A and B are shown apart, each in its own frame.
Chain A
Amino acid sequence: MNSAFTYLLLPSLWSSRNRATRRERGDLTRAALFGAMGVGVFTVLFFGAAWITWQLSGYEELGEYLLRLGLSWIFMTFLAFLTFSGIVTALSTFFLSDDLRLLLAAPIAARRLFYARFARTVAQSSWMVVVFLTPVLLGVGVIRSAPATFYVTAALTIVPFAVIPVAVGTACTLLLVNVFPARRARDLLMLMGFLFVASIVILLRMIRPERLLRAESLPDLTGFFSALQSPLTPLMPSFWAGELLFASLKGGWDALHAGALWSTACACCVALRVADERWHFSGYSRSQEAPKARFARFHGIDAAARILPFSAVRRQLLVKDVKIFLRDVSQWSQLLLLLALVLVYLYNFRVLDLGRIPYVSGFVKNVYAFVNLGMAGFVMATVAVRFVFPMVSAEGRAFWLIRNSPVSMHDFLWSKFWTGLIPVLLLTETLTIAANELLGVDPFLKAVAAVAIVFLSFALVGLATGLGARYPRFTADNPTEVAGSYGGVAFMTVAVLLVVAVIVLVAWPSTTYLFYRMRDWRVPTVRLVVMGVCFVAAAVLSLATWLSGMRSGVRALDAMSN
């Protein structure tokens, strides 16, 4: 038993068991929230997949064909995701994980360690894909009254399908870690981030979803389907997986594609193991080396900070936070991911030519302005919980330095607030203005949305800073751990409620105003007053959240010092 590679996975299992049996404060709330969200997402995916399958079944052969294409499309999307996820996860599991210092000092065969780490990499990289595919395939299977073998085949398909791209991603990491000079993890992750952004853009270019909305503009039906089929190639594992599942959905068995999937997965494992046995130790050894760190000195930040009308204390706190942030690899890589998401978001508005769809009128466009405001609000909440909320915790074990210095907690926390506010405000304001411009919404709504974003930024950044100070985790290993703590979940809950409340308070008077203006009617005075009250209420709610959040944070820090 001890010689099996699975033995090396035991600490993770035991740790999970211990975590489950020894609850911390807020665990139940967090479990309930995430559980409810999970059930919600599962339900939406299940019914969504079932509805689409049901609709397609009305088109007989055409529906069959589209379902078959759809399955390959789903797998093709996951192929890119799994490859990138494999690269990032392998960097941690094979090279940077702390427990490697323990495991590599022990007399463990390289092959055994490889299988244990690879199993962990595959599991960590692909669990989201499995969580997504389960309700989707269940929905398809239920509507098509699929035989039990369909579900067995699905499980047997997902395993090799996940192994192939993750093995490719792991091989990329193995190569990168051996090629790059030691401890250039920052460069490495930057490169990976760029690769991810590039892959997203390429994927979008390949898919060209706008063509789906312009089926009538294609020369004929064959052209339309060839446009749909163009990114799918029979040489890709995504195609094999789609074909295999489609065959089993009809009660058949596609031995050719099953064989292709499994043999490729096994070959990938063997090839990767050989490469790992040859190059892992040299790569790991390089990742442990610490030559003179090459880092940017950011003299410009010092110069810029001198111009700001801040006290010396605030200026130094700001300079320190900005420099640490810019030198922190993990922050950078996540910023790049965020940038990719923003690009996709804006790209969607650019390619969605709403004017071509007959039912879309100016009214619907204006409704989209509020959908856009909601999206920007959620992006803001996500950015705040990931980057602003952990700012106090990020002081970590060095927090004693702040507490022992003659800096008031008030000054300290407000410095954190301004450091977080500027980038969040710039990001979300740009996002909202650009998206509304691309949609062509009414100028009045553009102005309302832009002002609402300013108020929401102050509210959410203030709340994140305050709650971050109230529920700090100075011993956390990374900001993600802080964001997922009780305080982080509490912040997200309040933030979502606030965004919804502000949208409701702003949307009603705005649409009412547009309703009257489009008809050239005069708004009744009573209604005008109520509209004004709504706008003021949204502003007051935002300001109250901002200031009460900050006050609560300062009080918590003061209490900690006393």
Chain B
Amino acid sequence: MIVVDNLVKQYGGFTAVNGVSLEVRPGEIHGFLGPNGAGKTTTLRIIAGLLKPTSGRVLVNGHDVAAEPERAKASLGYIPDRPFIYEKLTAGEFLRFHAGLYGLDGDGVTERVHEMLDLFELRRWEDELVETFSHGMKQRLVMCAAFLHRPRAVAVDEPMVGLDPRGARLIKDVFRRMSDRGVAILMSTHTLEVAQEMCQRLSIILKGKIIAQGTVDDVRQLAGGADDHLTSVFLRLTGGSALQELDEAV
């Protein structure tokens, strides 16, 4: 479970996140939508313990990220938009090291690493250096790492970027299976079809503030168009009229 309570993040005079509150329940896939620069990545990085909030609180499975960072991080899987992987390690070495960071030790580790590599279709490349991987393969490797320690909550930033249709399908299936097992997933995405297809609830953020929250139907109604596609709803809520100007300019 992830609880974000009145989160504020200021960079000097600029407020990137302004009073964001949201809750992701166990087994829920929660879509976190918003235009570029709206504050999605900042919020996710605060949840992951990589940024210090100006005010507000984040609880991961009941642990306050500021007060009990180690406990909170131990039960969270974080998949950043620009993940770091040691390029000169093999996929297997990277995952074993990652397991160690989360306190996994002993004979079970190799078995778990193989399980994850099989799940994300990377077993063939276990002994290859990460630097030889394509973007999609690296993305899948990072997901292997994020799910390795069986987290109860996952924060994921733009998981579908750079994945081919097969990879995207794979990720969707994995997320569904995880949520079926009770994992709370907070997913930031630009792919509205993915959000519509996978998320039980959505939060739409604009200029650091949550402007709409609820199920897909709730959000549709908020935008005043009951039968619209989510893309139209999103554009209406976030100021999509600029598209018309763009059209005229082109």
Give the contacting residue for B11; candidates A3, A103, A107, A291; CB below 8 A. Answer: A291
From residue B104, how far is it (CB to closest CB) to chain A in Å? 8
For A1, A18, A103, A290, which residue has the most chain B Cβ atoms within 10 angstroms? A18
Chain A residues within an 8 Å CB radius of B71: 107
Q: Any chain A CB within 8 A of the CB of B240?
A: no
Q: Kindly list the 9 A-B residue pairs having the minimum CB-CB distance in the complex, ordered from nearest.
A: A15-B88, A107-B74, A285-B52, A106-B101, A291-B11, A107-B73, A2-B100, A107-B70, A291-B12
A1-39 near B? 1/0 per residue, CB < 8 Å: 111000110110011101100100000000000000000
Q: How far is the CA of A288 from the CA of B11 in the complex (A)?
A: 10
Residue from B12, B69, B83, B88 with most neighbouring chain A CB atoms (10 Å):
B88
* Residues of A close to B105: CB separation below 8 A: 1-2
B129 at the interface (CB under 8 A from A): yes
Residue from A3, A7, A107 in contact with B69 in the complex, judged by beta carbons closer than 8 Å:
A107
In chain A, residues 78-123, which have Cβ atoms closer than 8 Å to a Cβ of chain B? Answer: 98-99, 101-109
- Enumerate chain A residues within 8 angstroms of B129, measured Cβ to Cβ: 18, 22
Contact of A291 among B14, B80, B97, B98 (CB under 8 A): B14
Tell me how far the C-beta of B56 lies from the nearest C-beta in chain A, rounded to whole angstroms. 14
Closest to A7 in B: B100
Q: Are the CB atoms of B89 and A11 closer together than 8 Å?
A: yes
In the assembly, what is the distance between CA of A105 and CA of B75, in Å?
11
CB-defined contacts of A2 to chain B, threshold 8 Å = 100-101, 103-105
**Interface residue? B49 (CB, 8 A):** yes
B48 at the interface (CB under 8 A from A): yes
CA–CA, A1 and B71, complex, Å: 20
Residues of B within 8 A of A (CB): 11-14, 45, 48-52, 69-74, 78, 80, 83-90, 93, 97-98, 100-105, 129
- Report A116-148 residues with CB < 8 Å from chain B CB: none
Kindly state the separation between the CA atoms of A57 and B89 in the bound complex, as whole angstroms: 52
When distances are taken between beta carbons in the complex, the residues of chain A under 8 Å from B88 are: 14-16, 18-19
With the chains together, A288 CA to B9 CA distance in Å? 12
Measured between alpha carbons, how far is A22 from B71 in the docked complex, in Å?
39
A281 within 8 A of B: yes
Q: Is the CB of B90 within 8 A of A18?
A: yes
Interface on A for B, CB 8 Å cutoff?
1-3, 7-8, 10-11, 14-16, 18-19, 22, 98-99, 101-109, 181-182, 281-282, 285, 288-292
A7: chain B residues at CB < 8 Å are: 100
Whether B101 and A103, one on each chain, are in contact in the complex, defined by CB atoms closer than 8 angstroms, is yes
Check A104 against B49 for contact (C-beta < 8 Å). yes
A15 partner residues in chain B, CB cutoff 8 A: 86-89
Contacts of B100 in A (CB 8 A): 2, 7, 10
CB closest residue in chain A, given B109: A2
A109 to B69, CA, bound (A): 9
A7 to B103: give the CA distance in the assembly, Å. Answer: 11
Interface residue from A22, A108, A181, A289 paired with B70 (Cβ < 8 Å): A108
Q: Is the CB of A107 within 8 A of B103?
A: yes
Whether A108 contacts B101 by the Cβ 8 Å rule is yes
A209 to B101, CA, bound (A): 52
Q: Which residue of A lies closest to B14 (CB)?
A: A291
User: Which of B49, B50, B83 is the most central at the interface, judged by chain A CB atoms within 10 Å of its CB?
Assistant: B50
Selected from B72, B74, B97, the residue in CB contact (under 8 A) with A11 is B97
Q: Does the CB pair B78–A105 fall under 8 Å?
A: yes
Complex CA gap A122/B89 in Å reads 23
Q: Name 11 A/B residue pairs within 8 A (Cβ), A-sorted.
A: A2-B104, A10-B97, A15-B88, A102-B84, A103-B101, A106-B98, A106-B101, A107-B72, A108-B101, A182-B12, A291-B12
- Which residue on B lies nearest to A477, using beta carbons? B87
Q: Which residue of B lies closest to A283 (CB)?
A: B52
Q: How far is the CB of A459 from chain B (nearest CB, A)?
A: 35
Contacts of A289 in B (CB 8 A): 11, 51
Partner of B86, one of A99, A108, A285, A288: A99
Other A-B pairs beyond A182-B12, A288-B51, 16, CB < 8 Å: A7-B100, A10-B97, A11-B97, A15-B86, A15-B89, A101-B80, A101-B83, A102-B83, A105-B73, A107-B102, A107-B103, A108-B101, A109-B70, A285-B51, A289-B51, A291-B13
In the complex formed, the residue of B with least CB distance to A97 is: B84
Q: Give Cα A471 to B49, complex, Å.
A: 41
Query: How far, in angstroms, from A109 to B73 measured CA to CA in the complex?
Result: 11
Do residues B70 and A18 form an inter-chain contact, with CB atoms below 8 A? no
CA distance A14 to B90 in the complex (A): 9
B12 and chain A: residue at smallest CB distance: A291
Instruction: Report how far A16 CA is from B129 CA in the complex, Å.
Output: 12
- Please indicate the chain A residues that have their CB under 8 angstroms from the CB of B86 in the complex: 11, 14-15, 99
A-chain residues with CB within 8 Å of residue B80 when the two chains form the complex:
101, 105
Q: Which of chain A's residues have a CB closer than 8 A to the CB of B52?
A: 281-282, 285
A288 surroundings in chain B (CB, below 8 A): 45, 50-51
**Chain B nearest Cβ from A397, distance in angstroms:** 12
Q: Chain B's nearest CB lies how many Å from the CB of A306?
A: 29
Contact residues in A for B104 (Cβ distance below 8 Å):
2
Kindly state the separation between the CA atoms of A10 and B88 in the bound complex, as whole angstroms.
12
When the two chains form their complex, are residues B89 and A18 in contact, meaning their CB atoms are under 8 A apart?
A: yes
Given A2-B100, A7-B100, A18-B90, does the pair A101, B84 have CB atoms closer than 8 Å?
yes
Question: In the bound complex, how far is the Cα of B52 from the Cα of A282, in angstroms?
Answer: 7
**Which residues of chain B have C-beta atoms less than 8 A from A98's C-beta?**
84
Q: Which residue of A lies closest to B69 (CB)?
A: A107
Of the candidates B11, B13, B71, B78, the one having the most CB atoms from chain A within 10 angstroms of its own CB is B11
Question: Inside 8 A of B97's CB, which chain A residues have their CB?
Answer: 10-11, 14
| Distance of A181 Cα from B69 Cα, bound (Å) | 25
Question: What residues of B have a CB within 8 angstroms of the CB of A99 in the complex?
Answer: 84, 86
- Cβ B93 vs Cβ A292 within 8 A: no
Q: Complex: how many Å from CA A195 to CA B106?
A: 49
Docked pose: A148 CA to B220 CA in angstroms:
82
Closest beta carbon of chain B to A281's beta carbon, Å: 6
A292 to B15, CA, bound (A): 12
Complex Cα distance, B86 from A11, in Å, reads: 7
Chain B residues near A102: list those with CB within 8 A: 83-85, 98, 101
User: Which residues of B sit under 8 angstroms from A103, Cβ to Cβ?
Assistant: 101
What chain B residues lie within 8 Å of A101 (beta carbons)? Answer: 50, 80, 83-84
How far in angstroms is the closest Cβ of chain B from A323?
24
B13 to chain A, nearest CB (A): 8
**Which of these, A16, A105, A282, A291, contacts B50 with CB under 8 Å?**
A105
B182 to chain A, nearest CB (A): 20
Q: How far is the CA of A104 from the CA of B50 in the complex (A)?
A: 6
User: How many Å lie between the Cα of A288 and that of B82 in the bound state?
Assistant: 13
On chain B, the residues within 8 Å of A105 by CB distance are 48-50, 73, 78, 80
- In Å, the complex CA distance between A288 and B46 comes to 11
Alpha-carbon distance A8/B100, docked complex (angstroms): 9
- A116–chain B nearest beta-carbon distance, Å: 11
